Amino acid sequence: MLHHNIRTLVLLMGLAFVGVAALVAAVRVT
């Protein structure tokens, strides 16, 4: 597995985690 693959995987995961946190927050305030 390449360094590049890991960076991409972590970036996607990071964005997904932030996205879920934002979604949860949006659901809470509506």
Partner 1 sequence: MKYNVARVVPWVGGYALLVLTPLMLAMIGASPAPRSFLVEFGVGLGFVAIALIGLQFVITGRFRSIAPVFGGDVVLQFHRQIGIVATVLIVAHPLLLVIGDPDYLEFLDPRVNLLRALALAAVVPAAVLLMVTSLWRELFRLNYEWWRAGHGVLALAVVFIGMVHGIQVGAYLGEFWKKGIWAGVLCGLMYLVIHTRVVRPALMKRRPYQLVEVRREVADVFTLVLEPVEHVGMRFSAGQYAWMTVGSSPYSMQQHPFSFASSAHSGELTFTSKAVGDFTSSWDAIEPGERVYLEGPFGAFTFDPTSEGAVFIVGGIGVTPAMSVLRTMRDTDDERPVVLVYGNTDLDAVVFRDELDELAGQLDLDIVHVLEEPPGNWDGESGFVDRDLLLRVLPADCRTYEFFVCGPEPLMDAAETALRDIGVTWRQIYTERFQIV
In whole angstroms, the minimum distance from the beta carbon of 16 to partner 1 comes to: 7
Residues 1-30 that bind partner 1 (CB under 8 A): 1-7, 9-10, 13-14, 16-18, 20-22, 24-26, 28-29
CA distances 7 to 1, 15, 19, 24, 28, Å, are: 11, 12, 18, 26, 31
In whole angstroms, the minimum distance from the beta carbon of 15 to partner 1 comes to: 9
In whole angstroms, the minimum distance from the beta carbon of 14 to partner 1 comes to: 4
Question: Rounded to an integer, what distance in angstroms lies between the CA atom of residue 8 and that of residue 23?
Answer: 22
